[in-house]
Amino acid sequence: MGLTSRSLFYTVTFGAVLCVALMVWVWPRLAGRGVLPVLGRLGSILTTQLAIMAALLLAVNSWGQFYGTWGQLLGRVDKAPVNVNEMTQGAPYATVGASKDGLVQPAGPQGIDKVGGIPRGPAEKEGKVQSVRIIGQKSRAINPAFVYLPPQYFQKQYERHRFPVMVVISGYPGGIMNLAQHLQVPQTAGTLLAQNKMQPTIIVMVRPTIAPPRDTECVDVPDGPQAETFFTKDLPDALKSTYRVGNDPSAWGVLGYSSGGTCALELAMRQPDVYPAAAALSGDYKVGSDPTTGKLFGSGPDAKQRQREHDLIWRLENMPVPRVSVLVTSSRKGEKNFGETEKFLKAVKQPMTASSIILPEGSHNFQTWRREIGPALEWMSQQLTFPQDTADKPKQ
């Protein structure tokens, strides 16, 4: 039986219930004193607790898809590089970073000082990771972020260039530390730059929710948090006011894992004039309400239509297809989104283009996503324009 199969879960759950019933039944027989009754009581307690714990762990794993197969649970995983499959053809600014009164403000370390592999040497040789907070003028949200600036950003020959931007979004309830520590986005980008597999790019690492602990799913909630507005208006405005970034959408892309991947696809397909390129690692293809989100689409007669418009396969079948490029990832074994990924890829049509990374086996965890993040960054880099234009030399 597979690790995520219902038959295994039902069998273990039945076993746990049976253990509880048997312990209640035999407990009076184990009430005596002596070595054997004591060992019997200890054995029955231990067996029952292990059975209950196994059932709970299987339920949690089934919900989160953290391990898709027995091999992954036991550490027998394929760590070979993965390939991207092409599915279809076809204002004044500061020199570096943030100011106290700007839309991008310096923040405390936010844990970045504890992450290994982060550039800490000369910025013109290694690049730099800044810990900041983004101020949303329209959404009135304040979101923490890490900003990776490549070495070229600090080099004299690039001082008049504007750089492309990747917005990288974590899953929910994870935060920006997951992007630096577990997904290793800045470390991987630095390696790819050194290998000339990626062009110099500014990477902005953010979380998907703008109103924690609520899961806002990058949606503009009626009479609630305006997450889509933050990502499509406030975030670009803040970055353009602070860093040397491209003004044209061809310099902008969005990438994420899990619910952050869902956000990436939603933002690109709903706002192609902001993000014409998106990559989703184990993302979903529609957004729905649950206890963590609350009513994302409001109530009344328009709520169903608002929710329908966040179903990306429905959009491809019923609305004008946007001119965007997307990359999606999944696994044939171990990922619950594989079937929907196939449906999404089949629904894509011109002028939209789609590429994919489909692993033979993988799970909904960082072990899988770390295999995919390098190829995803390379793919995204190929979609973005650099240098986009020549910027006036900033005042010092």
> What is the count of structural domains for the chain?
2
235 and 310 inside one domain: yes
Among 256, 274, 243, 263, CA closest to 380: 256
Other beta carbons within 10 Å of 140: 13
Hey, what are 148's tokens?
């990776």
Instruction: With respect to residue 70, please indicate whether it lies within any of the assigned structural domains.
Output: no
18 and 92 inside one domain: no
In angstroms, the CA 211 to CA 192 distance is 34
* pLDDT 10s digits, 179-197: 999 999 999 999 999 999 9
Instruction: With respect to residue 79, please indicate whether it lies within any of the assigned structural domains.
Output: no
Chain-centroid distance of CA 127 in Å reads 23
Phi, psi angle pair for 151, to nearest 5°? -55, -35
**pLDDT at residue 65, as a whole number:** 46
Residues 6+ away with beta carbon under 8 Å from 329: 261, 279, 280, 281, 282, 341, 356, 357, 358, 359, 372, 376
Hey, what are 238's tokens?
């803040």
53 and 95 inside one domain: no
Instruction: With respect to residue 125, please indicate whether it lies within any of the assigned structural domains.
Output: yes
**pLDDT at residue 272, as a whole number:** 97
Instruction: With respect to residue 395, please indicate whether it lies within any of the assigned structural domains.
Output: no
* pLDDT 10s digits, 250-309: 999 999 999 999 999 999 999 999 999 999 999 999 999 888 999 999 988 899 999 999
240 burial via Cβ count (<10 Å: 0-12, 13-18, 19+): middle
Instruction: With respect to residue 391, please indicate whether it lies within any of the assigned structural domains.
Output: no
Q: Residue 383 — pLDDT band, cuts 50, 70, 90?
A: very high
Hey, what are 285's tokens?
């293809």
CATH number, residue 316: 3.40.50.1820
In angstroms, the CA 385 to CA 246 distance is 8
In angstroms, the CA 116 to CA 187 distance is 9
Helices (H), 181-257: 185-194, 227-229, 235-242
Instruction: With respect to residue 1, please indicate whether it lies within any of the assigned structural domains.
Output: no
**pLDDT at residue 3, as a whole number:** 60
In angstroms, the CA 138 to CA 66 distance is 37
195 and 333 inside one domain: yes
103 and 133 inside one domain: yes
Q: Residue 395 — pLDDT band, cuts 50, 70, 90?
A: very low
SS3 at position 359: strand
258 and 130 inside one domain: yes
In angstroms, the CA 41 to CA 131 distance is 55
The answer, yes or no, to whether residue 103 has pLDDT greater than 80, is yes
- The DSSP bridge partners found for residue 168 are 205, 255
Characterize 155-187 residue by residue with b for buried, 16 or more Cβ atoms within 10 angstroms of its Cβ, and e for exposed.
eeebeebbbbbbbbbbbbebbbbbbbbbbbbbb
Average pLDDT, the chain: 87
Hey, what are 286's tokens?
């529609």
**pLDDT at residue 258, as a whole number:** 95
The answer, yes or no, to whether residue 49 has pLDDT greater than 70, is yes
43 and 106 inside one domain: no
The answer, yes or no, to whether residue 47 has pLDDT greater than 80, is yes
Sequence-separated contacts (24+) of 54-59 with Cβ below 8 Å: 54/12, 54/16, 55/9, 55/12, 55/13, 55/15, 55/16, 58/3, 58/8, 58/9, 58/12, 58/13, 59/9
**Structural domain span for residue 35:** 6-64
* pLDDT 10s digits, 213-256: 899 999 999 999 999 999 999 999 999 999 999 999 999 999 99
250 and 127 inside one domain: yes
97 and 41 inside one domain: no
The answer, yes or no, to whether residue 339 has pLDDT greater than 60, is yes
171 and 112 inside one domain: yes
**pLDDT at residue 16, as a whole number:** 86
34 and 120 inside one domain: no
173 and 235 inside one domain: yes
CB contact at 8 A, 258 and 171: yes
**CA separation, residue 39 to residues 25, 31, 32, 118 (Å):** 17, 11, 11, 53
In angstroms, the CA 280 to CA 115 distance is 24
The answer, yes or no, to whether residue 97 has pLDDT greater than 90, is no
Q: Residue 62 — pLDDT band, cuts 50, 70, 90?
A: low
Q: Return the sign of the alpha-carbon dihedral for residues 223, 228, 229, 231.
A: positive
What percent of the chain lies above the pLDDT cut of 70? 86
Instruction: With respect to residue 69, please indicate whether it lies within any of the assigned structural domains.
Output: no
Instruction: With respect to residue 72, please indicate whether it lies within any of the assigned structural domains.
Output: no
